[in-house]
Amino acid sequence: MTLIQQKPQRTDAPRRPLLAGVLGLGIVMAVWWIAAETIFAGVGVTPQGTGGSIPNPYEVVMALVEGGFGYFGRHLSVTITEALIGFAWGVGIALALASLVVVFPRLERSVMQVAIISYCIPIVAIGPIVRIISGAPAPGEPSGTAVFLGAMLVIFTTLIGSLLGLRAADRASLELVSVYGGGRFKQFVKVRAIAALPGILNALKIAMPLAFLGAIIGEYLGGVDVGIGPALVNAQQGLLAPRAWALAVVTGAVSGIGFAIIAVLSRLVTPWTRGETGAKS
């Protein structure tokens, strides 16, 4: 009996993406700091009337420390709530539309027209209309405009990813269900829904930050006193550049965390997509 000797796998492979990410972040911070102190030095005005409204990373960190969790957490909690509600609505609508298209193919043209319209309409144009219709939210309640815009940005991305995933089902498996007397609905439940999970989750990774962006823009259009949107408006009006940049950094970090959560969930729910192979004997 001949034994096939395998090369030992390198244990440092999983560390490479982390090291690359840390190195990339360090390069970005260095370029930012140098640009703030050289190219953009003296650009804009501060509350004291002097130049230098492009803060360096140290000034942004100090703004984060000065505001503390009480300030940033209060605004973030409202925006995250609105983003999650909009995300849930957008994903639900997109999955329902994708399912209808697969079960009833004749509806594809109409559904895609609605999805394309929702994607092409500028949210800064439709936002004020939604603001007028929904009105100002009650104190402590999420903004209807923020929820609507968050959902609208999610629908198209999730719909396209879901359709691609639902149509990636194995043809032989679909025919097997058909041979045993199953129709389109049985094929959808037994085969397509499982095959579509990787595509759906990949779409959700992109949709999560989009929902957060839509919520911020909805707040920015007015009607709320607490949230990242009004906090940015206040920082702009007060010429508080470090605080505005700190809000931007926090916003990017939260969006990245949302992306990472969906990515981890995707690895747990769809382990067959990792490309891992067992040891051969």
Q: Please check whether residue 234 is in contact with residue 74, taking contact to mean a CB–CB distance below 8 angstroms.
A: no
pTM, full prediction = 0.78
What does the mean pLDDT of the chain come to?
A: 78
H helices present in 104-143, as ranges = 108-120, 123-134
Report the topology of domain 58-269.
Answer: MetI-like fold (1.10.3720)
> What letter does residue 192 receive in the DSSP assignment?
I
- Give 190-237 pLDDT, tens digit per residue: 777 777 788 888 889 889 999 998 898 888 876 778 888 888 888 888
Q: Where are the domains of the chain?
A: 58-269
Quick one: which of 178, 199, 247, 195 has its CA closest to 219?
247
Per-position b or e across 157-183, b if 16+ CB within 10 A of its CB: bbbbbbbbbbeebeeeebeebeeeebe
Query: For the chain, give me the number of helices (H) and strands (E)?
Result: 11, 0
Quick one: which of 139, 132, 148 has its CA closest to 215?
148
d(CA 242, CA 63): 6
More confident residue, 12 or 113: 113
- Give 81-116 pLDDT, tens digit per residue: 999 999 999 999 998 998 888 878 888 888 888 888
